[in-house]
Amino acid sequence: MMLADYLAAVTRLNQHASFNGAMQVVTPRQVLYAYAAGLANIEKNAPFTSQTVTGIGSLSKQFLAIAVMQQVTAGRLHLTDRVAQFLPDYPQAAAVTIADLLTMASGIPDYPTLIQKQHLTTARAAASDPQSVRRLGADLSLTDLMALLGDQPLSFTPGSQGVYSNTNYYLLSVILTEVLQKPLAQILTETIWRPLGLTATRLGTQHAQAVSYLPWDDELLFIGKGHHTAGDSGIVTSATDYARWLQTILQRPESLLPAAAWQTLFTIQHNFYGMGWFRHGPWFWHSGLVLGYQADVFLSFEHQLAVFWFTNVRFLTASAQDWNRQQRIWLDQLT
């Protein structure tokens, strides 16, 4: 499928779909396609636009990975540093390095999974249960995280394989604040958001403009904005800001990171994860879920193209899942 055919197909699909959110297709210098539809706030009848600030869940990890690599470049951190240097009270910290955290190779348990195990849901998967979704969208202090991890063993020898764990990037955010002695939001603002002109991007789902919802038993349940401030999944942004962010990544400017650091960031380790990115064929990709918000991104240096979509109504209905699936099929066919 040629790019022009893809854009035409996406346009036709969106004209007939009930997608609620924003989607864009960008090159390093141009926005090829921008679409927004539906409501950011049903109760207030507020439209969802390209400027609407919304939750992006685990797409937050891309920002955090670059912030960490900036400190590695500056010599304040080293990929071989042991986590125990910054979190001496965590029993497993001596076995894990900064690189292990960045590449999902630590073996540290995933904190959302641990939370879900404490509050077993019935009849529905935890990812679609309203109580579980709200619980995971609440704030989590470092004290609470350490209590949750307790003396849980690592699930494998660090550096030997990759298994996804949100805890890795939560800990990276803690390490950043420890090294720079500043709040994470201030670090991200000073090192990434302000230099790039990302004026709508903030840390904390409470800053979202879009309210999130969850399809449940033929209803649309109000989930809200929550108050999730963890660096692994707490960033909110607009489609306009995020398009600029992806254009910056496609350009890989040395003003943000040197060439060698960009290369390290996008090198997939253990056939699983780079630093903030998975890979499928020519596409680096990631999905994000927090509260009722959902986000997906696909970026290809080979195609010099990035595609993303945000929604504040989680893809749980058959029609929404079909829309999501079709987008992925077309990207796989793009030549």
What's the mean pLDDT in 28-36? Answer: 97
The per-residue pLDDT for range 226-237, each reduced to its tens digit, is 999 999 999 999
Q: What angle do CA 168, 161, 118 make, to 5 degrees?
A: 45
Where does the pLDDT of residue 122 fall: very low under 50, low under 70, confident under 90, or very high at 90 and above?
Answer: very low
Per the CB < 8 A criterion, the answer to whether 224 and 290 are in contact is no
Does the pLDDT of residue 17 top 90, yes or no? no
Summary mean pLDDT of the chain: 94
Give the whole-angstrom CA distance, residue 228 versus residue 202: 12
The per-residue pLDDT for range 206-219, each reduced to its tens digit, is 999 999 999 988 88
The per-residue pLDDT for range 177-201, each reduced to its tens digit, is 999 999 999 999 999 999 999 999 9
Per the CB < 8 A criterion, the answer to whether 69 and 333 are in contact is no
By DSSP bridging, strand 278-280 and strand 283-290 are antiparallel
Give the whole-angstrom CA distance, residue 309 versus residue 295: 6
Lowest mean pLDDT among 42-56, 135-149, 152-166: 135-149
Give residue 104's region: left, alpha or beta (phi > 0; psi -120 to 50).
Answer: left
Q: How remote is the C-alpha of 235 from its chain's centroid?
A: 8
- The secondary structure of 107-140 as a DSSP string is -PPPHHHHHHHHS--SSS-GGG-HHHHHHHTS--
DSSP code of 201? Answer: -
pLDDT on residue 162? 98
Tokens at residue 19, please?
């997608």
